[in-house]
Amino acid sequence: MSRLYRLTLFSLAFVGLGFISYSCHRDIIALPSTDQSIAPSNAPSFGDSTESVTTEPLEDILINELPDDDYFHQQMRFWVDNFDYVPSTIPQFFQCQIQRNQITPPQWADLMQKTNWLKTHHDYKFDLADTYLLLHSELNQLAQPRDEIIDQIAHHLAPIPHTYRPASYPGAADDYCEDFVGRSDLFSYTDLRRIKLILSALTRPTTVNLLRQLLLEDMEDRASEVGGLCFLDNQEVRFQTYAPGLRGADNMYVESHQMLRDASLCISRWHCHADREKSFRLAGPGLDDLKFAKYYGTSLVIITYINARMMNIDFCTIQGEVVDLGNY
Ligand SMILES: [Zn+2]
């Protein structure tokens, strides 16, 4: 049993797997990050200090207490053995479970084949959020060289005007330029494919008109933001709206149970930021959105009202990297 596997099982058990908050979109529960949980226990501390920090092997004790037929044990084993993937938060574990229930045997075979192909050709590491995208991509589409996609995106974005969201405060997680050029190395191969698909959708007047309409609806609705999920229809991104699970404030969007389930197999989540007063100051994800993306293991498309004739679109990766996709 690998150390990564045991440690993650331990952190999952530690936070209590029996509970998941289906509807509390904004309440981000602070869990140890994956990076922390997989750090070797004898890893040196930061800086030049020669001191090393060690811990009692509590995970060994815990794993020995779990029977081999334990449900979580089996779930983890499936993902580790087939995809070299370890869920590290409760939402990711939930997503594992939904995908196990919904994906058919031929789809698993297809997914494994594409994942292995990408690993070999694009130095790819599987992520649960990619399952839907991979199942809906042809192998020849996944063969497009990474540099070629980067060039296409850069050329597409160059002539489009942009609106950058001001940082929450100096040094904050959102205190950086949302440019694509110069930061393209930060995006995984599947992120690049998502960006390309969304940019392609934004070339279609029907999509742009729909998003403008959704922003106006959000502006009128003082009890919730408007949001939903992106799916693919014949390689074209479709923005599907989901009614909020709970209503209560203008600047919140609470996902319904149905949306949370469906989000396990989609291209990305999306929601609107529509406020005439704040306008461009909301252009892109805020700190709460970045935390949400990371904890739920999801990418986000943020649609922002700039003025009566202009909206701004941002894409945010699971890691919280934001790229401004331009004004429309
Ligand atoms: Zn938001």
Q: Which residues contact 167 (CB under 8 A, 6 or more apart)?
A: 174, 175, 176
> 64 is written with which tokens?
């020995």
In this structure, are 30 and 158 located in the same domain? no
Check whether 165 has a pLDDT greater than 90: no
Per the domain annotation, does 141 fall within a domain?
no
In this structure, are 272 and 186 located in the same domain? yes
3-state secondary structure of 273: strand
C-alpha of residue 131 to centroid of ligand 1, in Å: 24
Domain holding 17, by residue range, is 3-88
C-alpha of residue 160 to centroid of ligand 1, in Å: 23
Question: Distance between CA 266 and CA 318 in Å, rounded?
Answer: 14
- Tell me the DSSP string of 219-272: HH-SS---EEEEEEETTEEEEEEE--SB---TT--BPPHHHHHHTTSSSEEEEE
Q: pLDDT tens across 21-75, in order?
A: 333 333 333 333 333 333 444 444 444 556 667 555 555 555 566 666 777 778 8
Q: What is the mean pLDDT of residues 101-123?
A: 94
In this structure, are 312 and 216 located in the same domain? yes
Per the domain annotation, does 238 fall within a domain?
yes
pLDDT at 208: 97
C-alpha of residue 82 to centroid of ligand 1, in Å: 34
pLDDT band with cut points at 50, 70 and 90 for residue 308: confident
C-alpha of residue 179 to centroid of ligand 1, in Å: 19
C-alpha of residue 161 to centroid of ligand 1, in Å: 21
Q: What is the mean pLDDT of residues 252-277?
A: 91
In this structure, are 152 and 48 located in the same domain? no
Average pLDDT, the chain: 81
Per the domain annotation, does 94 fall within a domain?
no
In this structure, are 161 and 276 located in the same domain? yes
93 within 8 A of 75, measured Cβ to Cβ:
yes
Per the domain annotation, does 264 fall within a domain?
yes
Q: Which residues contact 254 (CB under 8 A, 6 or more apart)?
A: 23, 24, 25, 26, 224, 244, 245, 246, 247, 248
Q: pLDDT tens across 214-262, in order?
A: 999 998 888 788 999 999 999 999 999 999 888 888 788 888 999 999 9
Check whether 280 has a pLDDT greater than 60: yes
Check whether 185 has a pLDDT greater than 80: yes
Report residues near ion ligand 1: CB below 5 Å.
289
Strand (E) or helix (H) holding 323: strand 322-327
Structural domain total, the chain:
2
C-alpha of residue 172 to centroid of ligand 1, in Å: 16
Instruction: Out of 88, 112, 130, pick the residue that ends a domain.
Output: 88
300 within 8 A of 268, measured Cβ to Cβ:
yes
In this structure, are 200 and 299 located in the same domain? yes
In this structure, are 164 and 305 located in the same domain? yes
pLDDT at 287: 87
Instruction: Out of 88, 121, 137, pick the residue that ends a domain.
Output: 88
Question: Distance between CA 78 and CA 112 in Å, rounded?
Answer: 12
Lowest average pLDDT, out of 40-49, 89-98, 203-212, 279-288, goes to 40-49
Question: Distance between CA 178 and CA 288 in Å, rounded?
Answer: 17
Question: Distance between CA 267 and CA 100 in Å, rounded?
Answer: 18
Instruction: Out of 53, 68, 88, pick the residue that ends a domain.
Output: 88
Q: What is the mean pLDDT of residues 11-28?
A: 39
What's the CATH code of the domain at 242?
A: 3.40.140
45 within 8 A of 74, measured Cβ to Cβ:
no
Q: How far is residue 71 CA from its own chain's centroid?
A: 26
In this structure, are 189 and 256 located in the same domain? yes
In this structure, are 169 and 312 located in the same domain? yes
Radius of gyration (Cα) for the chain, nearest Å? 21
| The model's pTM | 0.78
Per the domain annotation, does 32 fall within a domain?
yes
- Tell me the DSSP string of 67-117: -TT-HHHHHHHHHHHHHS----SHHHHHHHHHHHHH--HHHHHHHHHHHHH
C-alpha of residue 209 to centroid of ligand 1, in Å: 20
In this structure, are 163 and 307 located in the same domain? yes
- Tell me the DSSP string of 134-172: HHTS-HHHHTS-HHHHHHHHHHHHTTS---PPPPSSTT-
pLDDT at 89: 86
In this structure, are 153 and 221 located in the same domain? yes
Per the domain annotation, does 57 fall within a domain?
yes
C-alpha of residue 92 to centroid of ligand 1, in Å: 20
Per the domain annotation, does 216 fall within a domain?
yes
Per the domain annotation, does 222 fall within a domain?
yes
Check whether 199 has a pLDDT greater than 90: yes
pLDDT at 100: 95
In this structure, are 281 and 151 located in the same domain? yes
In the chain, % of residues over pLDDT 90: 50
**Alpha-carbon dihedral 23, 25, 31, 35, rounded to 10 degrees:** 120
pLDDT at 278: 74
Check whether 184 has a pLDDT greater than 50: yes
Q: pLDDT tens across 69-101, in order?
A: 777 778 888 888 899 888 888 899 899 999 999
Q: What is the mean pLDDT of residues 140-152?
A: 94
Burial bucket for residue 310 (CB in 10 Å: 0-12, 13-18, 19+): middle
